[in-house]
Amino acid sequence: MCRIMVTWGLVSAAMCFAHTATVFFYTLRFLLGVAEAGFFPGVIYYLTHWFAQAARARAVDVFYFGAPLAFIFGSPLSGSLLQLNGAFSLTGWQWLFLVEGVLASAVGV
């Protein structure tokens, strides 16, 4: 899981340096899909081993609840990052990918 998070973060951060559609959509989006492909099934697999059957549904529910929380807290953060146009000569969308990638890699480490 740690390798998945670090790889996911590095590829996501690299997306802020993509300047052509080919690099962005075909190369880096493909690599991002490869990097994150095992995350969801891996978490579900580990939850089946970490929790007894009686508590497993509750643990999976808590994991699923992470997506709505990410939308609630991530949307204002994304909006504020998009306002950083021109800071350190990066546009807002570049800041978005860079911060996302650095945070994912930090969680992986």
pLDDT digit string, tens, across residues 88-104: 888 999 999 999 999 99
pLDDT at position 19, please?
87
pTM reported for the whole predicted model: 0.83
The predicted pLDDT at position 73 comes to: 92
Dihedral class, residue 88 (left if φ above 0, else alpha if ψ from -120 to 50, else beta): left
Q: What is the model's pLDDT at position 49? A: 93
Average pLDDT of the chain to the nearest whole number: 92
Radius of gyration over alpha carbons of the chain, in Å? 16
Question: pLDDT tens for residues 19-38?
Answer: 898 888 899 999 999 999 99
pLDDT tens digits, 36-54 = 999 999 999 999 999 999 9
Predicted confidence (pLDDT) per residue in 68-91, tens digit: 999 999 999 999 999 988 888 889
CA atoms within 13 A on the CB side of 92: 9
Residues 104, 106, 108, 109, Cα dihedral to 10° = 170
Domains in the chain: boundaries: 2-108
**Count, residues in the chain:** 109
